Amino acid sequence: MAARILIVAEHDGSTLNASTAKCVTCAQSIGGSIDVAVCADDAGSVAAQAAKLAGVANVLAIENAANAHPVAALLAPQIVAVVRSGQYTHVLGPSTTFGRDLMPRVAALLDAPQVSDIMAVESPARFRRPIYAGNVLVTVEVDAPVIVGTVRTASYQAAAGDGSAVIEKPATTGVEIPGHSRFVSVSAAKNDRPDLQTARRVVSGGRALGSSAGFELLYRLAEKLGAAVGASRAAVDAGYVPNEMQVGQTGKIIAPELYFAIGISGAIQHLTGIKDARTIVAINKDADAPIFEVADYGLVGDLFEIVPQLIELL
Amino acid sequence: MNKILVGIKRVVDYNVRVRVKPDGSGVAVEGAKMSINPFDEIALEEALRIKERGAADEVIVASIGGADSQQQLRTALAMGADRAVQVDPGASAGPGDLGLEPLTIARILLKLVEREQPFLVILGKQAIDDDNSQAGPMLAALWGRPQATFASKIEIAGERATAVREVDAGLETLEVDLPAVFTTDLRLNEPRYVKLPDIMKAKRKPLETLTLAALGIEPAAARVRAVRFEPPQQRQKGIRVKDAAELVSSLKEKGLL
């Protein structure tokens, strides 16, 4: 039986998140038909963006006032209704906080097993994923009529944008949406830097930056490079920067073309977040820091001397 | 009585670097230092703080695992939990066994929820061994109750709670009716250290062991099985540059700047 794949789109109400295009690429490697579900209060522009993704047959615009913000408990029963009526064999979402919140709820309601952080597909039932902070890769075989998965977006390129899917509005009127969970607000640090998850260049700092003020130096370097700024867990724990900047096992998994690890020792938990970076540059005063084992370019020295020189040279 | 149920998992300690067995049949963890999953420790700390603020009467800590998980339950009792429940899933299967599926874990937790009737369930956002990050939302779904995942702040106000969630975009505030399931993020709190007198006291606290049969759970056939384990591809070690100028010229040479 050919696979029927449904991808749950991530978006902010107006723009489709880049993670969705990466899920489409993962779905293409499974094979079969690919549809994308967009849950929104007004799906219009996001559905139109999803319809352009290459290889997508149908975009299902699931419109409800309750979908103005992505609350997993409210979205899950609607997704489940669409999965059942469309007889899907695979339901995929991105392995971002959106997908990690929503997809297990969908899986449990479907009584389906979930494969988290899919990084490679060997067959429609066989997937590879990292465990132990990426120290081990396990290939799993799933025996179930419906498989739910989250896609490790750093492992996939975005699907091309030259498609022309049909936009449909499935009937989900009979679905009971619970009233026990209410979105209140979302606050994001305002800055003009590129988005950490999709940036081509990223500059990250560790505990060696010493303070929030220390990170100002990195912001200046990032500005010169047109880069996003990330941080190690140690720097987040120390309170230098907010958690949404964390890169690693318990933060964001990224795959930029150029990554600067500055004052980061290179704990395995951090390395798991950058293993798909094309080129890694490490600057650290400890010549034995593990980051130098994975860096393409290593520079031993005091970051407070080197970074200003870099800013000067760029 | 206002009860909080906290789930804890026995995992290879954060600082241990595990390796794949030479024949690719699994992960070599024998003899490794074992600990409470760090996110679960944060979950327990939060439960204890809520109780200490007077918003709960009892903190019950549960672990699903063999007899050795009693070590972590005793540590949890020493931290301040009032009593512990170990659910023993029995002998695990042979090669390819990945341990219990998250959905099975959620079913077991649901049975404990039905038995204990907690107003809060607090779990870690993920276990650092299998990195599945599934059990919390799955339990909430089966229970038909709200979930607030990746919480960095939990405030209880009567029949409701407000959680601040660490999402990719920043901080999201979610209001939920209780009972509800919460999963913890790193910055929720800093777990306390266990003191020696508390370890002695913990030995006298109740620790109950239950089988799946006692909870009325039929062992289901595994639907996800491991085919092979392998180490990740290692990155090639690169070159050392002597200063900022050489770094910039090297990157320019490669067309990276």
Final residue of a structural domain among A122, A153, A168: A168
Residue A166, classed as helix, strand or coil, is: strand
- The residue of A110, A250, A309 whose CB has the most chain B CBs within 10 angstroms, and thus the best one to mutate to test that interface, is A250
Chain B residue numbers with beta carbons less than 8 Å from the beta carbon of A314 are 248, 257
- Say how many domains are in chain A: 2
Domain match, A208 and A164 both? no
A145 and A238 inside one domain: no
Domain boundary among A119, A153, A168: A168
Instruction: Show pLDDT as tens, one digit a residue, over chain A (314 residues).
Output: 689 999 999 999 999 999 999 999 999 999 999 999 999 999 999 999 999 999 999 999 999 999 999 999 999 999 999 999 999 999 999 999 999 999 999 999 999 999 999 999 999 999 999 999 999 999 999 999 999 999 999 999 999 999 999 999 998 878 999 999 999 999 876 677 899 988 999 999 999 999 999 999 999 999 999 999 999 999 999 999 999 999 999 899 999 999 999 999 999 999 999 999 999 999 999 999 999 999 999 999 999 999 999 999 99
| A154 plus A205 within the same structural domain | no
Residue A130 belongs to some domain of the structure: yes
What is the extent of the structural domain holding A87?
4-168
Residues A224-248 as b or e (16 or more Cβ within 10 Å = b): ebebbbbbbbbbbebebbbbbbbbb
Tell if the CB–CB gap between B228 and A107 is shorter than 8 Å. Answer: no
Residue at A187 is within a domain: no
The secondary element (H helix, E strand) that includes residue A309 is: helix A303-313
Instruction: Give the end of a domain, one of A168, A185, A211.
Output: A168
Mutation target to probe the A interface, by most A beta carbons within 10 A, among B12, B19, B152, B174 is B174
Residue pair B151/B183 in contact (Cβ under 8 Å)? The answer is yes
Residues A152, A86: one domain? yes
The answer on A160 and A63 residing in a single domain is yes
Residue type, B37: N
> Could you tell me if A138 and A224 lie in one domain?
no
Please tell me which residue of chain A has the smallest CA distance to B37. Answer: A132
A209 and A266 housed in the same domain: yes
Quick check: bond before B146 cis, omega within 30? Answer: no
> Is A176 inside any structural domain?
no
A113 within domain boundaries: yes
ipTM: 0.95
CATH at A270 = 3.40.50.1220
A216 belongs to a structural domain: yes
pTM: 0.93
Residues A222 and A119 in one domain: no
- What's A36's domain CATH number? 3.40.50.620
- A233 and A99 in a common domain: no
pLDDT in tens, B23-80: 999 999 889 999 999 999 999 999 999 999 999 999 999 999 999 999 999 999 999 9
Residue A193 maps to a domain: no
- CA distance, residue B201 to nearest chain A CA (Å): 32
Task: Inspect the interface and report whether the beta carbons of A244 and B173 lie closer than 8 Å.
Answer: no
Cα–Cα distance for residue pair A238/B33, rounded to 1 Å: 26
Q: Are A44 and A162 members of one domain?
A: yes
Residue A9 and residue A141 in one domain: yes
Domains of chain B listed by start with CATH number? 3-253 (3.40.50.620)
Instruction: For residue A173, tell me if it sits in a domain.
Output: no
Is residue A87 within 8 A of residue A32, CB to CB? The reply is no
Q: Is the residue at A26 inside a domain?
A: yes
Residue type (1 letter), A187? S
Strand ranges across the sheet with A228-231: A228-231, A201-205, A258-262, A279-284, A297-300, B239-240
pLDDT tens digit string along A9-55?
Answer: 999 999 999 999 999 999 999 999 999 999 999 999 999 999 999 99
Is A279 found in the same domain as A219?
A: yes
